[in-house]
Amino acid sequence: MAALQVNALFKKVAPAPAKKAAPAKKGLFGAKPAPAKKAAPAKKAAPVKKAAPAKTKVVKKAAPVKKSSGKPSQAGGDLAKWYGKNRRFYLPSGLLDPATDVPSYMDGTLAGDYGFDPLKLGADGKINDYRAAEVIHARWAMLAIPGIVIPEALGIPGGVWTETGKVFLDGEAGRPEILQNPIIFAGIQIALFAAVEGYRSGKVAPPEGFVPGKGKFSGSDFAGLDPINPGGPLDFFNVASTPEDLAILKVKEIKNGRLAMIAMLGVFVQGLTTGEGPAANWGKHVADPFGYNFVTISAIERTPVL
């Protein structure tokens, strides 16, 4: 038994005999080496794709700016002519230096500010109050000129402004007594003036009313509005729908109002000089321009002396 175990042990430990390599095949000149395997052909590189050309963005041309049609709503560019430091002045730039010849309180914020205040009336800081008074007088003058000229031109009794009071007091106006009573007319005017001035100053709340196209309005609709140029419900035709419109209309109003005030001064001077109304003076001047004018009327008649 011991001999069998020793033999089995030797069988496990003894290495297996190496196998003989197969003899190489003899060629014509001896051993022929095994042919080397050909390397696999390298794969062709994939062609590089050309980069797509970058897309260029087409820049659209800006639409041409529309020219102003001359309407107030498109007159924003005209504001520089009437407002600000570069506005128009009462003298050309060569004859006027705005930095030294224009008062500092006339800074171009008010409509119609040409820098003209030779008496320095606005130096007391009340220039806004003076502007309110100017606008009110200008509006009265614009109402007075047609109210003086038209009745006289139509030949209405009492139409000549220098004789209106006399005709009414004498009862020659051709109207019922109640309509030509000066006391009644004075009372009506005082009542209307008091109401208008109360509304304008804010001491009296404006009443409710109705405007065609706008509907009903109340006093609260005027809150925060300019008391001289409120607009709002009183802008019946929406002519001042934007701030630019209102600014341009303020300039037009004060320019026409100043012209009307000068015309009223002419009416007063003509009435004192000729004793006639403006329509009669104008008719005589048109009929004989060289024989009836300021020079011939104001000339002093002299008796020739030898």
Question: Does the annotation flag 105 for ligand binding?
Answer: no
Task: List all residues 6 or more positions away from 180 whose beta carbon is below 8 Å from its beta carbon.
Answer: 168, 171, 173
Query: Annotation-wise, does 302 bind a ligand?
Result: no
Task: Say whether 172 counts as a known binding-site residue.
Answer: no
Pairing of strands 26-27, 30-31: antiparallel
Could you tell me where the DSSP H helices lie in the chain?
2-13, 79-82, 98-101, 127-154, 164-169, 182-201, 243-274, 278-287, 294-298
Instruction: Identify whether the C-beta of residue 204 lies closer than 8 Å to the C-beta of residue 198.
Output: yes
Residues, the chain: 306
Q: Is 5 annotated as a binding residue?
A: no
**Residue 179 annotated in ligand binding:** yes
Tell me the angle at which helices 127-154 and 243-274 cross, rounded to the nearest 10 degrees.
Answer: 60
| 253 known ligand binder | yes
Q: CA 169, CA 206: separation in Å to the nearest integer? A: 35
Coil vs helix vs strand at 209: strand
Annotated binding-site residue? 90: yes
The CA distance from 27 to 36, in Å, is 16
Q: Does the annotation place 270 within a ligand binding site? A: yes
Q: Which two tokens stand for residue 233?
A: 């419900």
How far apart CA 56 and CA 59 sit, in angstroms, is: 9
Binding residue ranges for chlorophyll a:
134, 137, 179, 252-253, 256, 258, 270, 285
Annotated binding site for chlorophyll b: 90, 139
Which amino acids are annotated as binding site, given as ranges? 90, 134, 137, 139, 179, 252-253, 256, 258, 270, 285
